[in-house]
Amino acid sequence: MRLDGVWTAEVAVNNGWENAGLLILDKGRVTGGSNVYYTRGTYALTREGIEMALQIRFYGVTRTLLGECREEMAVELQGKRNKNIMYGRMTRKDKPRYSVAVRAIKQSDLASDYRSPTDGVFPFGVGSEAATTPEPNSLRRGRQSIHPESK
């Protein structure tokens, strides 16, 4: 299984694993986030496994991560891969004594790795068959339903 793809990230908590968002790995780059943060950085395969250098930036409500409540921090991740699961430790770059166990589960290859079965037209209204998005004001006034079957 290729490393590039869409991965769900989880961090270890007292009673198991907690969803920590989504990571997209693409040719040595990492992009991702959740409903409270986004991250970007790089990854590389090593003899021991995988290494990532990430910058995490919270927006909205800032959460405590690795011993401190900050809007932004640099972290490193070192881990191993077993088929479609990566596991390891995420550590603060400036304070290595703070770390947490992490794992990521591969959910999909990248869209660029797929060939459309419908000769260039992608499902869900992407591409030349794109669905139109209603204007926010028309939705507020009830003029257009986002569910075509409802009236």
pLDDT tens, position by position, 33-53: 999 999 999 999 998 899 999
Average pLDDT, the chain: 80
**CA angle (46, 52, 54) in 5-degree steps:** 165
Percentage of the residues of the chain whose pLDDT score is greater than 70:
73
pLDDT for residue 68: 84
Q: What is the pLDDT of residue 2?
A: 76
Please state, in angstroms and rounded to a whole number, the distance separating the CA atoms of residues 146 and 102: 38
| Structure confidence at residue 11 (pLDDT) | 93
- The pLDDT assigned to 61 comes to 78
Provide the pLDDT for residue 27.
94
pLDDT over 90 (residue 111): no
Long-range contacts formed by 8-13: CB under 8 A, 24+ apart:
8/104, 8/105, 8/107, 9/102, 9/103, 9/104, 10/102, 10/103, 10/104, 10/105, 11/90, 11/100, 11/101, 11/102, 12/100, 12/101, 12/102, 12/103
CA distance 116 to 39: 29
Domains and CATH numbers, the chain: 5-112 (2.40.128.380), 115-146 (no CATH)
Confidence of residue 137 (pLDDT cuts 50, 70, 90): low
pTM: 0.71
Could you tell me which residue, 127 or 23, shows the higher pLDDT? 23
Residue 151 has pLDDT above 50, yes or no: no
